[in-house]
Structure 1
Amino acid sequence: SAIYLTKDQMFHERTKHIDIKYHYVRDVVAHGKLNVCKISTYDNPANMMTKSVPVAKFELCSSLVGIVV
């Protein structure tokens, strides 16, 4: 749904609480400067910060975000 919201240009009553930073991201996406896409849970480097992952996965995620272990 986050991807849908970045591409949807309509105002919705249920999303009126969303911060101004969201509108900036939506504008950048609309101008083609940023592409928001789905990332498989197995390829998501943020998993190392949100889940317990095996050492090999942690090392892979670290290298993807530029952290040297």
Structure 2
Amino acid sequence: MSTTEAEYMAVAEAAKEALWLKGLVKELGLNQGGVQMHCDNQSAIYLAKNQVYHARTKHINVRFHKIRELIVTGDIVLEKVHTSENAADILTKLVITAKFKHCLDLVNVSSL
């Protein structure tokens, strides 16, 4: 499996969770527009936004392609996040102290 396919599948799973949270917020009486999601893989974003059949991704389960419909309807807004602004790096990569502090700032965690 390629990195693009793995990221695409992860975005689809995250979208599923985002829709569940959007439904919960709606039940609480708050209306929300499209859920903004970030992805650091440009190829996965292109694959999600492009409705054309891709022979190289034919083995991806159909349930992951639901993300395409959600993007077209505006329920999900998928955007690229630059590596320097990716707060998830703190959990997935070895980072230097400066990057660690920057990631803490991105998630609004203050250091003492």
Q: TM exceeds 0.5?
A: yes
Is 2:68 aligned against 1:3? no
Stretches of structure 1 that go unaligned for 5 or more consecutive residues are: none
Q: Which amino acid aligns with 2:68?
A: R
Aligned to 1:31: 73
Structure 2: how far apart are the matches of 1:5 and 1:67?
33
Deviations 1:16-43 (A, max 9, x none): 1113342121111111111111111000
Q: Structure 2 length as normaliser, TM-score?
A: 0.49
Q: CA RMSD in A?
A: 2.3
Work out which structure has the larger RCO, using CA pairs closer than 8 Å and 6 or more positions apart in sequence: 2
- Identical amino acids, percent of aligned pairs: 42
Assess if the C-alpha contact under 8 Å between 2:85 and 2:106 holds in 1: no
Assess if the C-alpha contact under 8 Å between 2:45 and 2:80 holds in 1: yes
Structure 2: how far apart are the matches of 1:14 and 1:21?
17
The correspondence for 1:53, drawn from 95, 100, 108, is: 95
Q: Structure 1 length as normaliser, TM-score?
A: 0.73
**36-45 or 58-67, larger mean C-alpha shift:** 58-67
The structure with the greater share of residues assigned to helix is 2
Aligned to 1:14: 56
